[in-house]
Structure 1
Amino acid sequence: MIEIATSPATTTLAISGDLDLAERDQFPEIAARVVGLRRQLLVIDMCRVTFMDSTGAAFLISLADSGRRRGGATVLRGCDDRDLFVLEVCGALELFRIDSDHHCTPTPPRAG
């Protein structure tokens, strides 16, 4: 699931679950909404991402590239090493600022 929140200067995407091929149908609509908001800073909260493949990476890359062309910046927060590796293999890590100071709030274990 991808939730969008805005402030006067920032758009924040909070992503939870898998960011992969199975979720790709929602990517064009989300990208259009983010671009349409025209904020200078895009923060992508990856704290609750459970898996990202190259399709998810391509989605993030397209968002960062769109923002960069408008003079904006894209920040990744809560990204684990596995996700950073996928972006590095794609040759796109330089498109992002990495928020290394952010500490994710632990998710309580599921009952059952």
Structure 2
Amino acid sequence: MIEISTSSTTTTLVIAGDLDLAERDQFPEVTARVVGLRRQLLVIDMCHVTFMDSTGAAFLISLADAGRRRGGATVLRGAAERDLFVLEICGALDLFRVDAVHACEPADGASPPDTADAPA
């Protein structure tokens, strides 16, 4: 599942589930919508991506490349190490800014444990 939201300067894609060959039919429509919005910043939220293959990587690369040609930037938020590895193997990791600070919410929707009061 891919959801698109926008603000005046940013388009955000929230991706959940697999980003692979089985999902490729929706990639052209999503790409056309994102490119048509012409925002300077594209944030791709990958917190809930369970699997990404080279087809999914090619989709992300095409989005980042289209943004870069317009002078924009693409940020990967919540990408797992395995997903970053796929992009690195494809030689495309430098097309993205990686948000290493973002902390994803757990998949069950529960808040992360509060460690401020934990004993030392």
- The TM-score bracket by the shorter chain reads over 0.9
Alignment gaps of 5+ in structure 1: none
What TM-score comes out, normalization by structure 1 length? 0.96
Computing the radius of gyration over CA atoms, which structure comes out larger, 1 or 2? 2
5+ residue gaps, structure 2: 110-120
**1:62 is matched with which residue?**
62
Give the aligned partner of residue 14 of structure 1: 14
Instruction: Give the structure 1 partner of residue 40 of structure 2.
Output: 40
Q: How many residues align?
A: 109
Task: Calculate the TM-score normalised by the size of structure 2.
Answer: 0.90
Question: Are 1:4 and 2:9 counterparts?
Answer: no
Q: How does 1:1-112 map to 2 (within 5 A)?
A: 1-108=1-108
Q: Which runs of 4+ in 1 moved over 6 A?
A: none
| 1:22-49 residue CA offsets vs partner (Å, 9 max, x unmatched) | 0000000000000000000000000000
> How far apart, CA to CA, are the structure 2 residues paired with 1:6 and 1:68?
18
The alpha-carbon deviation at position 66 of structure 1 amounts to 0.1
Determine helix, strand or coil for the equivalent of 1:61. Answer: helix
Q: RMSD across aligned C-alpha pairs, in angstroms?
A: 0.8
CA–CA separation in structure 1 for the residues paired with 2:108 and 2:3 = 20
Identity %: 80
